Amino acid sequence: MALAAFLFALSVSAAAIKLKEPLAAPVPHFEHAYTVSRLPSRGSIQAMSELRTVDSVIRLTRGNGSSLSSLYVQAMRLQDTGREEGYSRLTTGSLPLVNIEQGTVFLAPATVGGQDFDVVIDTGSSDPWLVSTGFDCVDPYTHDDEPEDYCYFGPLYDPSQSTTFAPIPNRNLNLSYADGEFINGLVGYESFTMGGITIPQQQFSAVNFAGWYGDGISSGLVGFAYRTLTSAYAGTDPKADKAGHQISYNPFFVNMYTSNTTAPVFSMAMSRNENEGGVMALGGIPDIPHSPYWISVPIIPVGVNASSGEVVYEFYTIVIDGYAYSSDQSAQFNPYASANSRKRSLVGNGTQAIVDSGTSLMYVANDVAVGVTLAFTPPGTCDPSSRSDPTCYVPCHSIPPVFGVTIKKKVFFVNAQDMILQNGVDDNGIPNVLAVFDIGAEMMRFSAREFYGLGSYGATASPGGYS
């Protein structure tokens, strides 16, 4: 049993309610002691953008595979709980990660150089890249040569079939990820279209060397983090690249708003339908039902640092007020911490949480995970032998408790349909809010989609919108 995510995931370096037996999949590993640090502000902060409904909307689909963000979160969780000691070390000295997310990535269509692809959407990295024809595939851990289909990419980008590709001399892309996967490639300019918006000369990489476990659909990735995380280097030999010597450039979305093509915002809303992924709007919000009320909270940019000190990933982080949960379906909560004894207090006050496009579960602190499990009717159980990182279960017929995440004194409730994973397969998606990444103002903005209590003073558990 696991909690499906409130949005993408509101995550902390702690235990998640999760499945007892993950589905069989290639076991990822990590080879760094990761740390996190606050990143500096991006300079002048703009006023919040007017939220307009836009036509530049991308229909997202789901793919099988571990997202980059989930791998970094899992790596830090294992370090934080000390669970590394429970695993056998490989000859490389690396440690396995637990695939608790069951492998879900969100894909979007893109047209690059007149060729159509599906790409992974990732809010924690910056580089746009596609695997190209004739690439060399190797095993990510042994580095043994393998046939192309071993890396399991979708269709390959063919530079020779493009009339707009312009290589950049003496430049290479060099990216490594938390699970040991890596890519190297040529760097150039290319016509890049997503959501009906075209950047005619977008810098990107045509990957020619990859250690990768793909999903069989996606051909690459488009990052939506800041330009400070781009990974282009001088020269043509990736072995000569040095950490900290990257050459920054504008990622796809940054080029969109700096060229005044769109407002500096993008928004995402996920679908519960297992055959759909949701929608992503560039420069505004999609035309979907949502509450008329919004809350706004500052983005705290947080970097994930490898043992070398290099920032290798970035999370959009916010401060939440805490969690609201109860087995009483008519419970009232007290986000203002008033003296009203009839209203229930929040748990986990002042938690910093990650808002992320690549994690389909919600990660919460141990006491919250256990408390929510025990609030099911009938109650669930948690394995007492793993108190540092408890594994919790509930019967599939259990009635979920009321559960919500409180941001700026407003409680966003998670739909009961998203509270249980049936048979270890996450079909529920993450439909509870519409989230806006206002990059220009460095703010996150949220609106309830299902009117599950965008509550104010002492929010109630019943649907009904803003009170």
CATH code for position 326: 2.40.70.10
178 plus 322 within the same structural domain: no
Reported residue count of the chain is 467
Domain assignment present for 33:
no
377 plus 431 within the same structural domain: yes
- Highest mean pLDDT: which range of 7-11, 59-63, 353-357, 431-435: 59-63
Residue 2 scores a pLDDT above 90 = no
Verify whether residue 237 is a known catalytic residue. Answer: no
Average pLDDT over residues 273-289: 86
Domain that holds residue 423: 295-448
Domain assignment present for 82:
no
299 plus 443 within the same structural domain: yes
Residues 6 or more apart whose CB falls under 8 angstroms from that of 59 comprise: 108, 109, 276, 277, 279
pLDDT of residue 307: 65
Verify whether residue 438 is a known catalytic residue. Answer: no
255 plus 320 within the same structural domain: no
Domain assignment present for 17:
no
Domain assignment present for 40:
no
Sign of CA dihedral 25, 60, 443, 5: negative
231 plus 178 within the same structural domain: yes
182 plus 301 within the same structural domain: no
124 plus 246 within the same structural domain: yes
Which tokens sit at 242?
Answer: 């040095």
Res. 207 pLDDT band, cuts 50 70 90: very high
pLDDT of residue 22: 29
Active-site residue, selected from the candidate residues 118, 122, 179, 438: 122
256 plus 144 within the same structural domain: yes
Domain assignment present for 231:
yes
The β-bridge partners of 157 are 132
Q: Could you check whether the bond before residue 378 is cis, i.e. omega within 30 degrees of 0?
A: yes
180 plus 303 within the same structural domain: no
How confident is the model over 53-66, as pLDDT tens digits?
Answer: 999 999 998 877 66
How confident is the model over 409-420, as pLDDT tens digits?
Answer: 988 888 887 777
DSSP for residue 386:
G
249 plus 311 within the same structural domain: no
DSSP for residue 161:
G
Q: Tell me which of 261, 276, 311 is where a domain ends.
A: 261
Domain assignment present for 328:
yes
Cα–Cα dist 48/31, whole Å: 40
394 plus 436 within the same structural domain: yes
Structural domain count of the chain: 2
Q: Tell me which of 261, 284, 316 is where a domain ends.
A: 261
pLDDT of residue 351: 79
Residue linked to tokens 């979160």: 73
* Helix/strand/coil for 37: strand
Domain assignment present for 437:
yes
**Residue closest to 193 by CA, chosen among 293, 111, 123, 124:** 111
253 plus 310 within the same structural domain: no
Domain assignment present for 400:
yes
- pTM metric for this prediction: 0.78
Residues 6 or more apart whose CB falls under 8 angstroms from that of 289 comprise: 449
pLDDT of residue 76: 63
pLDDT of residue 213: 85
- Choice between 78 and 435, residue whose per-residue pLDDT is larger: 435
Residue 250, class by beta-carbon neighbours within 10 Å (0-12 exposed, 13-18 middle, 19+ buried)?
middle
Active-site residue, selected from the candidate residues 118, 356, 389, 426: 356
Res. 386 pLDDT band, cuts 50 70 90: low
Least confident of 186-200, 234-248, 292-306: 292-306
Least confident of 120-134, 139-153, 408-422: 408-422
